[in-house]
């Protein structure tokens, strides 16, 4: 399927468009500046793509390097490198 970054980019584009549209509707109804749409769209896309608190996108753990040593009894013991 889609990789993590592709999903994030697609979600940002969709949120940008959706919030631009919502902002344009709000601006029209309330008689505000039409610039409200792009401002809301950009803010939403930045929050979705950036995810500063890590709530939306799960973080993948870094690959941990470890070596395997065996004890005299034959059991494997993993120690970080």
Tally of domains in the chain = 1
Residue 7 within a domain: yes
pLDDT tens-digit series, residues 4-18: 678 888 888 999 999
Residue 72 within a domain: no
Residue 68 within a domain: no
Cα–Cα distance for residue pair 59/33, rounded to 1 Å: 38
Main-chain dihedrals φ then ψ at residue 70, nearest 5 degrees: -110, 145
Main-chain dihedrals φ then ψ at residue 25, nearest 5 degrees: -65, -45
Domain span holding position 17: 1-57
pLDDT tens-digit series, residues 29-63: 999 999 999 999 999 998 888 876 666 767 666 55
- Enter the pTM of the model: 0.62
Predicted confidence at residue 49, as pLDDT, reads 85
Rounded to whole angstroms, what are the CA distances from 71 to 13, 28, 34, 77? 54, 74, 71, 7
């Amino acid at each position: 399927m889609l990789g993590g970054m592709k999903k994030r980019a697609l979600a940002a584009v969709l949120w940008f468009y959706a919030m631009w549209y919502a902002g344009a509707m709000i601006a029209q109804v309330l008689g505000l500046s039409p610039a409200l749409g792009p401002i809301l769209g950009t803010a939403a896309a930045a929050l979705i793509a950036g995810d500063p608190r890590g709530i939306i996108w799960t973080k993948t753990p870094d690959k941990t390097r470890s070596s395997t040593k065996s004890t005299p009894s034959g059991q494997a013991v993993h120690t970080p490198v």
